[in-house]
Amino acid sequence: MSSTRTETITASDGGRYEGHLTVPDNGRGPGILLLQEIFGVGEFLLSKANDLAELGYVVMCPDVFWRVEPGIALPHDEGALQEAFGYMTRYMSEVPDETKVTDLGAALDHLRSLPEVAGQKVAVMGYCLGGFLAYTLACHFDPDAAVSYYGSGIADRLSDAENLTCPVVFHFGGSDPFIPNEQVDAIRAHLVDRDNVEIHVQHQAGHAFENFLAPQFHDVAAAAASWPLTVDFLERELRS
């Protein structure tokens, strides 16, 4: 059975924030830095962390919003959606881009330094906002692999992909109102010659189709199709 604890991460400016760590029952494994949706480090993200730990990975979920409001964990319902958008807007506007990147890099370095992970490969993975941040981190730091689920804003940052060298898998919904197909096509066209990039589109699905706690978004068929692709990718890239 997996175990959990809270880690304290030190940012480059000396600020300190928390990361929720899930360790598999064998006590060690490759690491995955799992980045949150706009709802924070809540039930959905921790459930995915547990799923990954059951596969043998050491998973840390850092508190991405700590500089604007620490400890956010909102319910995944319509009532909380506007509050979640508010936190995301504050994070994107109030925290400088360089600080966002260095905070994530500090979390990646912290995960790598843990005795349960030391000497093994580490990936970054994220959903929604976290999908964008996973891409950003992969462009600016050196994870061994990256998984991005429906990351809004990637099409506007394709110039960053010049530094994208690790294997990456992108998941999108073909009916996502927040990420139009034109943006997915732009990402595909920009990265078409990269043998380290996979792009998967669940054509019937909208945004946040993996989130089983958000009935307004969840798509059972799309989640069932995308998750094995992620599992196979992580197995191939982190255990080879």
CA dihedral (215, 64, 160, 165) positive or negative: negative
Cα distance between residue 34 and residue 50, in whole Å: 11
Cα distance between residue 216 and residue 208, in whole Å: 9
Residues 6 or more apart whose CB falls under 8 angstroms from that of 174 comprise 181, 184, 201, 202, 203, 204, 205
Bridge-partner residues for 64, per DSSP? none
Catalytic residue among 110, 171, 207, 218: 207
DSSP-assigned letter for residue 40: B
166 belongs to the catalytic site? no
Catalytic residue among 110, 176, 218, 219: 176
Catalytic residue among 20, 63, 128, 144: 128
218 belongs to the catalytic site? no
Evaluate whether 226 touches 197 at the Cβ level (below 8 Å): no
Which string of b and e fits 114-129 if b means at least 16 CB within 10 Å?
bebbeebbbbbbbbbb
Query: Could you give the residue numbers annotated as active site?
Result: 128, 176, 207
